[in-house]
Amino acid sequence: MASRRDFLSQPAPENYVAGLGRGATGFTTRSDLGPAREGPSEDQIKAAVAKRSAQLGLTESKDDDNNEDENRYQDPDNEVGLFAGGIYEKDDEEADEIWQKVEEKMGRRRQKQRLVISQFSGGSRRGGLSCEQHTNRFISNREAREKAETEEYERKNPKIQQQFAGLKRALESVTDEEWANLPDPKDLTGRTKRARQARMERFYAVPDSVLAAARDTGQFGTTVADDGTATEGTKDGTVTDFAKIGAARDKVLRARLEQESHSSGIVAAGSATSIDPKGYLTSLASTQGAEQSIGDIEQFRKMLKSAVDSNPKQAASWIAAARLEIAAGKPGAARTLIEKGCQHCPHSEDIWLESIHVNQLNSMANAKKIAADAVIKNPHSVKLWVEAMKLETDPRSKSKVIRKGLDYNKESEALWKELVNLEEKVEDARILLARATELIPQSLDLWLALARLEVPENARKVLNKAVKKLPNSHELWIAAARLEEQLGEGTKRPVMKNAVKFLAKQNAMPKREEWIAEAEKCEEEGAVITCSNIIEETLGWSLDEDDDRKELWMEDAKASIGRDRFVTARAIYAYALRVFPNSKTLYMAAVELERNHGTKDDLWRALEKAVEACPNHEVFWLMLAKEKAGEINEARRVLARAFKQNPDNEDIWLAAVKLEADNGFIDQARDLLKTARQNAPTDRVWMRSVAFERQLGDNEAGLDLVRDALQLFPAAPKLWMMKGQIYEDLGKPTEAREAYATGVRAVPSSIPLWLLYSRLEERSGNVVKARSVLDRARQAVPKSPELWTELIRVERRAGNLSQARVLMANALQQMPKSGLLWAERILELEPRTQRKTLLAEAVKKVEHDPILLVTAARLLWTERKLDRAQTWFEKALLLDRDMGDTWAWYYKFLVQHGTNEKREELVAKCVLNDPSHGEHWQAIAKHPKNANKKTDEILKLVAASLA
């Protein structure tokens, strides 16, 4: 142990580099090498190479220098010349061994290839060549080919060294002084990137407040102002200079006072000042934050001053500088600047206009002088003449200015219009317009104004002249048509017809949409005849028979209705009906237009045209009879005409019966029903006959009729229901049960019939029988929410809540999207705490169901969330307006929490929509005692019956 060397005295391991493990490898800089010097000479290089070769044993003597390859210095793989001065280490030895093995392996591979080539070439020897000779020849040919390809490639793709070989040889003539005078190379590697970054850079002006804060940061102590007051230092050592703040505030206040002295009623008179306190305080409200903008204004002032100084002929810079002074509250400086601007840019109308506006605030007299100078410098500027005219107060002076301007601008339409507007006498204005149209014959507005001022005969002549000057203007033709309408000859003279021919010949025919817009404009201005004439002559322009003209015209009419242009829409429907005289949809749309936006006479005329064009369409006859129901004789004549066109139509027969019954003519109604049963013996006619007798309270006569009807129509479920209900009214439950039982056997798919049968048994106390009836019904109609709901209600009313929940689970499993089942479960079978959760689940599964939406509204109603409840009621109405129960629940809600106006609006909407469905609605609306009640009365009765 004692003989072991110290660690620091031990030799370093082979290939050891100090600091390599931690990445601290050494490097050499130019300062370590010293100044650049001339490299070794050629003799020195040869001597070093020879010495290194002798050390490696690669040469026998020093005298063999002539045998050395001069090109070995150019080959990077030749270590003799390249690394002659290097130290041969163990790593070099390992590398040489590896390369030697690689060379041996490649040699063996080449030898194998030669053997294969010799085998293939053995059977084709020529000239007595041996296999070895043939192989050598093949290899030499291949090497020659490869050498030729290499030379060809190097010739086409020379190296950089070869390209600059001539130039490098020319460098021998360069002297040391020329080398020293060569400039240093620039760094061009990132030029494009730096240029792009420079373009993307943005510089913004820093406010003076930020610079002042940065300047004062770190100041300590207290400063003394000029007036002897000390400024207070904050806790961190910074200083608050109250003197400067006060001076800035006074400066802003003076500027505001100077500005308000001209605009807010502050009038200086000697030493006294009259101030409007209200306006003054209002104006001071905008001074908050003015101290912060002083620095920005100064910065902008410097920028604009630089712009003005660099290019004084640019008017925009002077205008911006003046406006900046106005914003800063220095109108005097603004006037000075704008005056200099006018001197530098005397031919810019914008700078003169700005000067007029700036001086107008101070002195109207100065503004007039400036306007006079402006028009002298720019006599052809229409804007300056108009502005000078506005500075005058009396019409005579205004007219004088405009006339002077017309001396320089005779073809200015704006000046002529201003002059005409200033004239008070119609005759003078007419003379001026006549002169204006002579000078400016292409002005449409001047021609139209002249035509309006002329008497009708002269107006026609004026418009004829205008058409010659402006042959492509359709506005002139419309003006001519309106003129004829004013004269009462709008329907006699075909002005628009001639207009279409003339404009088509000139290739100046506007589009169909533009004509519709012109027609609506005429309607807005009261020219309804011209509006109709435009539509009549132009609506079919550029449309072929293959186009969907009817649909297109209906869309045009609806668009006009949406813009409240009902005359235009009426004209569109009239034209479309002339093209399609038997279109039921067009007539229905026209009737709806008159019903909603026309008078009663217009509606009657539209229906008369509809029944004449479509006599076999009973809907129009019924609508016409209903509209004339107030005059029973007229309604009877309408129905008589309908009978002639449709002798066996049951709807017309029933309408006639309703007309007589509503007006109290019972015998006539009974006779009509008897005649109808003979001429149009349908199940509806027989049902109406039975219902008529029930409404009159004659159940025996109704029972006789229903028996006769069932012999003719045994598959009519409503007849079986009527028979059972009559027996119930007569107090004969046994016969009623027999009628229902026979009916469900004859019509097993009738759900209402099954429900009546089950409810009869339940009212009789036979719950088991009612359950049995509903089970049979579910077999006949498997997936009926109404039957499942009725069965669940039977169990619930009988007190079997557990069985009702089981049935509900089975029903929802079969019909998960039934709103009726979900509503029954939420409201009747689940506790109050779980209702909201179930409702959310139901809404996700059932997307659009009015019953479920009403259920949600009722839950929100019970929680006193009235606004949300009202929203859900309205959603349910939008979803299905024919559901009477929704209207009833909403009305009940408004009775408790709504206003009278809201209730009246709801009743009006309900009457307009006339609902006919709903469990509670049908039960009351179809009861015989409520047969003659109106929709609003039924609504109130249903709402009162809801619990």
**What percent of the chain is predicted at pLDDT more than 70?**
79
Is residue 364 a contact partner of residue 376, using CB atoms and an 8 Å limit? no
Indicate the range of 49-53, 338-342, 430-434, 875-879 predicted with least confidence: 49-53
**Is residue 78 over pLDDT 60?**
no
What pLDDT score does 490 carry?
66
- Residue 538 pLDDT > 50, yes or no? yes
Q: What is the mean pLDDT of residues 752-764?
A: 92
Are 661 and 629 spatial neighbours (Cβ–Cβ below 8 Å)? no
What are the pLDDT digits (tens) for 424-455? 888 888 888 888 888 888 888 888 888 888 87
Query: How many angstroms separate the Cα of 932 from the Cα of each of 306, 659, 766?
Result: 91, 12, 35
Across 79-88, 159-168, 261-270, 694-703, which has the greatest mean pLDDT? 694-703
Q: How far is CA 336 from CA 342, 369, 474, in A?
A: 10, 15, 52
Predicted confidence at residue 410, as pLDDT, reads 85
| pLDDT value of position 190 | 61
Q: Residue with structure tokens 């028996």? A: 707
At residue 417, the pLDDT reads 83
Of 38, 45, 41, the C-alpha closest to 82 is: 45
Backbone angles phi, psi at 272, to 5 degrees: -95, 155
Q: Is the pLDDT of residue 515 over 70?
A: yes
Higher pLDDT, 391 or 544: 391
Show the tokens assigned to 880.
Answer: 């299905």
Strand 272-274 with 267-269, pairing: antiparallel
With a cut of 90, say whether residue 226 has pLDDT above it.
no
pLDDT at 272 over 50: no
- Range 569-581 average pLDDT: 90
Using a cut of 0.95, tell me whether the model's pTM lies above it: no
Q: Is 269 helix (H, G, I), strand (E, B) or coil?
A: strand
Closest CA to 793 of 772, 766, 765, 824: 824
CB atoms within 10 A of CB 482: 22
Predicted confidence band of residue 891 (pLDDT cuts 50, 70, 90): very high
Torsional sign, CA 276, 281, 287, 291: positive
Ranges 275-289, 302-316, 459-473, 685-699: which has the least confidence: 275-289
Is the pLDDT reported for residue 265 higher than 80?
Answer: no
Q: Is the pLDDT of residue 192 over 60?
A: yes
> CB of 15 within 8 A of CB of 89?
yes
Which pLDDT band, with edges at 50, 70 and 90, does 861 fall under? Answer: very high
Q: Spell out the SS3 assignment of 384-449.
A: HHHHHHHHCCCHHHHHHHHHHHHHHCCCCHHHHHHHHHHCCCHHHHHHHHHHHHHHCCCCHHHHHH
Tell me the backbone φ, ψ of residue 637, rounded to 5 degrees: -65, -40
- At 228 the pLDDT is 42
Instruction: HSE, CB side, 13 Å, CA atoms: give it for residue 939.
Output: 28
Reported confidence tier of residue 739, pLDDT bands at 50, 70, 90? very high
More confident of the two residues 104 and 452:
104
- The pLDDT assigned to 362 comes to 79
Residue 270 in this model has a pLDDT that exceeds 50: no
Coil, strand or helix at 86: coil
The C-alpha atoms of residue 443 and residue 447 are separated, in whole angstroms, by 7
Contact 534, 519 (CB under 8 A): yes
Are the C-beta atoms of residues 581 and 613 closer than 8 Å to each other?
Answer: yes
- Return all residues near 331 (Cβ < 8 A) that are at least 6 apart: 258, 259, 262, 325, 358, 361, 362
CA dihedral 752→753→756→761, nearest 10 degrees, is: -140
384 touches 349 (CB < 8 A): yes
pLDDT score at 617: 86
pLDDT over 80 (residue 456): no
Place of tokens 């003989």: 3
pLDDT tens digits, residue range 761-809? 999 889 999 999 999 999 999 889 999 999 999 999 999 999 999 999 9
Cα 351 from Cα 372, distance rounded (Å): 14
pLDDT tier at 746 (50, 70, 90 boundaries)?
very high
Rounded to 5 degrees, what are φ and ψ at 831?
-65, 165
**272 in helix, strand or coil?**
strand
pLDDT score recorded for residue 40? 62
864 Rama class: left (phi>0) / alpha (psi -120 to 50) / beta:
left
pLDDT band at residue 28 under the 50/70/90 scheme: low
Residue 276: predicted pLDDT: 44
Q: CB-based contacts of 932: which residues, under 8 Å, 6+ apart?
A: 662, 695
Please compute the mean of the pLDDT values over residues 361-385 and round it to a whole number. 86
Residue 656: pLDDT band with limits 50, 70, 90 = confident
Residue 269 pairs in a beta bridge with 272
Q: Indicate if the alpha-carbon torsion angle 842, 843, 849, 852 is positive or negative.
A: positive
Pick from 92, 136, 91: which is nearest to 118 by CA? 136
Q: What is the DSSP letter of 719?
A: H
Range list of H helices, 174-207:
176-180, 191-200
Backbone φ and ψ of 185, nearest 5°: -70, 150
Least confident of 31-40, 60-69, 421-430, 527-536: 60-69
Return the percentage of the chain with pLDDT > 90, whole number: 19
- CA angle (283 as vertex; 280, 285 as ends), nearest 5: 115
pLDDT, averaged across the chain: 79
Which pLDDT does position 34 carry in this prediction?
52
**Bridge partner list, 883:** 917
Q: Which residue has the tokens 């209200």?
A: 278
**The dihedral of CA 398, 400, 402, 405: what is its sign?**
negative
What are the φ/ψ torsions at residue 482 (nearest 5 degrees)?
-70, -35
Average pLDDT of span 55-77: 50
Q: What is the pLDDT of residue 61?
A: 43
- Contact status, residue 461 vs residue 495, Cβ threshold 8 Å: no
What is the C-alpha end-to-end distance of the chain, expressed in Å?
111
Least confident of 16-20, 375-379, 538-542, 593-597: 16-20
What pLDDT digit, counting tens, does each position of 109-163 carry? Answer: 877 776 665 555 554 444 455 555 656 666 677 778 888 888 888 888 887 777 7
Q: Does residue 213 surpass a pLDDT of 80?
A: no
| pLDDT at residue 795 in the model | 92
